[in-house]
Amino acid sequence: MFIFDQKWGWNDTSLLEHKSVVHWLAVGGIALAVWIGISLILLAGVPSDLPTLRVAAVQHNFPRPAHQDTLESQPLRLQALSEQTRIAAQEGAQLVVWPELGLGFDPQVEYSAELKALATEINAYIFIGYGIDDPLGWCNEMVLLSPGGEFLETYGKNHNTSPGEPPIITAGVYPVYDLPFGRVATIICNDVHFTDTSRSLARKGAQLIAVPTLEIAGIALEQVAQSVMRAVENRVVLVKADVAYAAAIIDPYGRIVAFRNGSPEGTAFALVADVPLRRSSTLYTRLGDSVG
């Protein structure tokens, strides 16, 4: 600091010219006004006859990652998720999203019969999140289970949460599922902080992206904000389901159509809402981060 004090002081600073300040403030103000105007025009032009889908974000209120919990907790977790899923189905949900690391076993190997029976009973698709320490490495994955009892392609988290989470051995694959009501996909938790995951899925035609998360109470709302941004950027629906805290359902224009926050104690619930599914592509989806 002594060296800087000898070389520079407040009296030596050069002041900005008044005209220059006014000029750039005016340019910034005009750009902001144009941006807001375009946004309002886009919102005003939202078609009112878009097909809708009833979706649900389901939470079981087990904040601890399932693979770190006891073996005895696994059937309790499954029971809690199943109960809330049935509640969502009673409200008409056709697609249900479970949280990140909600289960500590591979549903394609363990409790498969129970899960298939549940999907068939409620006649809905279920995104199931789980974590397992495979002999080949760490798996933090989502798998989509159809009403017919079929497990579809698995998605592995692409951006492991650092510090603490090892690389995911199944990362790098971006499946998009072509379902009777539209094209859906999923990312996982920390993926929502990066623009590439949702953009890659939107480029492949995804109209809805599930966002299962495992948060702590203090930052539960942060990923809701990130989900809004990913929805706006790519004009897709996002359905965010957490283990115990903030859940949100967001339409393709970034409007939060349903929201519930279980912080700070956490709670189990099913958040249900109707969302419009549209087929469109934004400039951002096509060009990527260069737009920013």
At 36 the pLDDT is 83
Please give the single-letter amino acid code of residue 212: P
Q: Return the CATH superfamily for domain 52-290.
A: Carbon-nitrogen hydrolase (3.60.110.10)
Element (H, E) at 240: strand 237-241
Encode pLDDT of 78-97 as tens digits: 999 999 999 999 999 999 99
pTM of the model: 0.87
**11 pLDDT band (50/70/90 cuts)?**
low
Encode pLDDT of 105-123 as tens digits: 999 999 999 999 999 999 9
**3 pLDDT band (50/70/90 cuts)?**
low
CA–CA gap between residue 253 and residue 215 (Å, rounded):
25
Q: What are phi and psi of 43, to 5 degrees?
A: -65, -40
User: Using an 8 Å Cβ cutoff, are 58 and 94 in contact?
Assistant: no
pLDDT greater than 80 at residue 180: yes
Mean pLDDT value of segment 41-46: 70
Encode pLDDT of 212-224 as tens digits: 999 998 788 999 9
Q: What is the 3-state secondary structure (H, E, C) of 20-86?
A: HHHHHHHHHHHHHHHHHHHHHHHHHCCCCCCCEEEEEEEECCCCCCHHHCCCCHHHHHHHHHHHHHH
Instruction: Sketch the domain layout of the chain as residue ranges.
Output: 17-46, 52-290
Tokens of 191: 């993926």
Q: What are phi and psi of 222, to 5 degrees?
A: -65, -40
